[in-house]
Amino acid sequence: MPAPIPIPSEAQWYLLAAGLLAVLLGPSAWADDVIVVTDSHHPVQASVGVRIIELDLPARIEAEIATDLPNDPDKATTLVRQRLRDGGEALQRRIGHAYQGVADAWGLGIAKIPAVVLDRSYVVYGESDVPRAVVRINAYRGAQP
Residue 48: pLDDT band (50, 70, 90) is: confident
What's this model's pTM, rounded to 2 decimal places? 0.71
pLDDT, one tens digit per residue, over 126-137 is: 999 999 999 999
Mean pLDDT of 27-52: 81
CB 128 within 8 A of CB 45: yes
Q: Which residues of 96-129 are buried (b: 16+ CB within 10 A; e: fewer)?
A: eebeebbebbeebebeebbbbbbeeebbbeebbe
Mean pLDDT of 25-47: 76
Does residue 9 surpass a pLDDT of 60? no
pLDDT, one tens digit per residue, over 71-116 is: 999 999 999 999 999 999 999 999 999 999 999 999 999 989 999 9
3-state secondary structure 73-109: HHHHHHHHHHHHHHHHHHHHHHHHHHHHHHHHHHHHC
Integer Cα distance of 36 and 52 in angstroms: 5
Residue 46: pLDDT band (50, 70, 90) is: confident
Reduced to 3 states (helix: H, G, I; strand: E, B; else coil), residue 119 is coil
The reported pLDDT for the residue numbered 143 is 86
Task: Look at 108 and 10; give whichever has higher pLDDT.
Answer: 108
Does residue 123 surpass a pLDDT of 70? yes
